Amino acid sequence: MNGSPPSPAEPSPHSPLRIGNGAGFWGDQIDAPVLLAQAGELDALTLEYLAELTLGILGHLRHRDPAAGFVTDFPPLLRRLVALDQAHPDRPPLRIVTNAGGLNPPSLARLSAQTLVESNRGDDLVAVVTGDDVRDHLTSWRADGLTLAHLETGQPMPEELLGRLAVANVYLGSQPIAQAWSQGAILILTGRVADASLTVGPARAHFGWRADDWDRLAGASAAGHLIECGAQATGGLWHAWDDPSLDLWNVGYPIAELTEDGSAVITKPPGSGGLVTPANLAEQLVYEIDDPSAYVTPDVIADFAATRLEIDPTGPDRVRVTGTRGAPAPTMLKLACVARDGWTSSGLLAYVGPRAAAKARHAGEIVRRRLQRANALPQGFLVEVLGDLDIQPGVLSHPPGFEPWEVVLRITARDPDRAKVERFTREIAPLVLTGPPGVAGYASGRPDVKPAFAYWPSLVPCNLVTPRLDLRPARDWLA
Amino acid sequence: MSPPRHTPPRVLRDLAHARSGDKGNRANVGVLAFDAEGYELLRAHLTPEALASFLKPLGIGEVRRYDLPHLHGFNFVIESGLSGGAGGSLRLDTQGKALAETVLNLPWPPPESARSHS
């Protein structure tokens, strides 16, 4: 991190490619992509919405409505981004690459095309990447001898799980995105693709990298991985969160300036809050990864142990990302299956005063015994006392003599039988009349019952999976 | 501002910053030393066994450590660190987002490493 001075950039026949990421998950700030597009001078805006279980939730939505299954935050966002283009006729239109398509990219393409056509942009090319949804293939693959063994435990996929699968999606790579970029797509909508591939796709097309330019693909993958979680690269979660100059309320979202040699500079829009430093990016480089010397994507196996993060002295909040090495792409692709796994619900109540934590635990026990009496105790039943060190239970202790005078009781139930979970939701509010004193917070009513999911990651051979690209002018998506 | 650092260090927080997350039922914690000197201390004492011992109440499995000398840091991968993970766990922090903040309270030097190095 510190040490050798940054080396001068390799001369390049191409200009750098500026890619900003305006969403780190479905639920991130809705204004962030607009602010980033406004001030970022971007060649591409990426939006990453799909956490491991997000597709399970989308599967639930699609089950209720076959036209659903995409990220519903995206259509209103696109209208704002198109309006931004209209306000800046001097700039080229913003190009967007996003996995907002979720389980239904064509449905999102039709909605998005409508927005473009209404803005007299019916000629804009809209690309849809599919082929990641392999749920219909699993039965025949298993018949052909594929065990779909669990990536962590090695256990073969049980037959009964196959029957409960809500979704089964392979992580696709950057190739179809690159193809769409080369052909001039303004909007590239995908389902499940590797997060880093949203960045790698435009980069390999822009610079004309070969599919076996392993070091360059690895460098772009490092940049893509660094920005995929949005503001976590620019000051979110930083330990000096209360530094008065950090201004996290106005945190700028990250921009990767990619260069032809595969290196990148990570930065953020001028005037925004947050910070970009080697130390902060080092946290993000190892975020949610396994062996750093083998970060596996469909495009390349990247070696982050070789990656250097150094301050780029040409401006504030600029960090150079160099040295990442790449090994040939894997022969297997990751398959993420999500199965329906019963129902769940969580109820919250606050307890105050001396012995608040003891009161909350006693209240949890009251609920458990009432459910037992009704022969309706859910299979999963957990009492947590937030404020009494239950988030990682047993690891930490309060300082000697300290006792919290205000805690939150959280009771969570889970059961295959929805009726049992419904029954559970009716036992929270009665505590305000029938349990320990000093209780508050029942005004929000009974908690919601939500579907629960089981996650089953696995691997499938690349040659079983066929990514497909459908590229048409916006007006043709409406036809 | 961030809490004052003790000299000599009393907790891991005095030597390092950290970030945690999930992959399925595995948790990962990236631990980055503030400087080269701290990195050497961590390399010697923040063993997988030391972290496993600290987090034992969570019922975790194997802990693996990957060293990143260029970054003065480590990636720790914790098997079964999330009681079932985002899908399976009933806990509030099913995704291990708060785990790093807890790990930074590991007493320094870790009791486990003190035993193995004495």
pLDDT per residue as tens digits for the range A201-259 = 999 999 999 999 999 999 999 999 999 999 999 999 999 999 999 999 999 999 999 99
Q: For residue A413, which residues of chain B lie inside 8 Å, CB to CB?
A: 90
Between CA A3 and CA B5 the distance in angstroms is 23
Between CA A121 and CA A476 the distance in angstroms is 12
Residues A232 and A344 in one domain: no
Q: Considering the domain boundaries, does residue A4 fall inside one?
A: no
Between CA B39 and CA B66 the distance in angstroms is 13
Q: How many domains does chain A have?
A: 2
Average pLDDT over residues A141-165: 92
Average pLDDT over residues A118-139: 97
Contact B68, B42 (CB under 8 A): no
pTM: 0.94
- pLDDT at res. A12: 47
- The mean pLDDT value of chain A amounts to 95
Residues A220 and A98 in one domain: yes
- pLDDT at res. B2: 56
Q: Considering the domain boundaries, does residue A278 fall inside one?
A: yes
pLDDT score of A5 more than 80: no
Residues A83 and A185 in one domain: yes
Q: Considering the domain boundaries, does residue A473 fall inside one?
A: no
Of the three residues A330, A359, A378, the one that is the final residue of a domain is A330
Residues A181 and A282 in one domain: yes
Contact A335, A382 (CB under 8 A): no
Q: Considering the domain boundaries, does residue A29 fall inside one?
A: yes
Q: What are A19-60's pLDDT values in tens digits?
A: 999 999 999 999 999 999 999 999 999 999 998 889 988 998
Residues A346 and A309 in one domain: no
Given an 8 Å threshold on Cβ–Cβ distance, is A384 in contact with B28? no
Residues A234 and A382 in one domain: no
Residues A281 and A359 in one domain: no
Given an 8 Å threshold on Cβ–Cβ distance, is B2 in contact with A290? no
Contact A230, A274 (CB under 8 A): no
Q: Considering the domain boundaries, does residue A211 fall inside one?
A: yes
Of the three residues A291, A307, A330, the one that is the final residue of a domain is A330
SS3 B23: strand
- The mean pLDDT value of chain B amounts to 88
Residues A195 and A272 in one domain: yes
Query: CA of B118 to nearest chain A CA: how many angstroms apart?
Result: 24
Residues A92 and A182 in one domain: yes
Burial class (CB in 10 A: 0-12, 13-18, 19+), A240: middle
Shortest CA distance from A378: residue in chain B: B90
Q: What are B10-62's pLDDT values in tens digits?
A: 999 999 999 999 887 889 999 999 999 999 999 999 999 999 999 999 999 99
Of the partner residues A56, A243, A453, the one whose CB lies closest to the CB of residue B1: A243
- pLDDT at res. B85: 62
Average pLDDT over residues A366-378: 98
pLDDT score of A129 more than 50: yes
Q: Tell me, what CATH number does A422's domain have?
A: 3.30.70
Residue of A214, A22, A183 lying closest to A99 (CA atoms): A22
pLDDT score of B1 more than 50: no
Given an 8 Å threshold on Cβ–Cβ distance, is B25 in contact with A152? yes
- pLDDT at res. B83: 67
Between CA A119 and CA A94 the distance in angstroms is 14
pLDDT score of A160 more than 60: yes
Query: Which of A48-62, A272-286, A298-312, B25-39 has the weakest average pLDDT?
Result: A48-62
Burial class (CB in 10 A: 0-12, 13-18, 19+), A432: middle
ipTM surpasses cut 0.90: yes
Between CA A423 and CA A193 the distance in angstroms is 40
Given an 8 Å threshold on Cβ–Cβ distance, is B79 in contact with A152? yes
Residues A287 and A177 in one domain: yes
Given an 8 Å threshold on Cβ–Cβ distance, is B23 in contact with A289? yes
Residue count (chain B): 118
Residues A405 and A441 in one domain: yes
Q: Considering the domain boundaries, does residue A142 fall inside one?
A: no
Q: How many helices (H) and strands (E) does chain B have?
A: 5, 4
Residues A313 and A378 in one domain: no
Shortest CA distance from B17: residue in chain A: A239
What DSSP line would sit under B61-81, residue for residue?
A: --EEEEEEGGGTEEEEEETTT
pLDDT score of A11 more than 70: no
Residue A243: which domain range?
A: 17-132+171-330
Q: Considering the domain boundaries, does residue A208 fall inside one?
A: yes
pLDDT score of A347 more than 90: yes
- pLDDT at res. B87: 63
Contact A418, A343 (CB under 8 A): yes
Q: Considering the domain boundaries, does residue A150 fall inside one?
A: no
Q: What are A57-111's pLDDT values in tens digits?
A: 899 899 899 999 999 999 999 999 999 999 999 999 999 999 999 999 999 999 9
pLDDT score of B117 more than 50: no
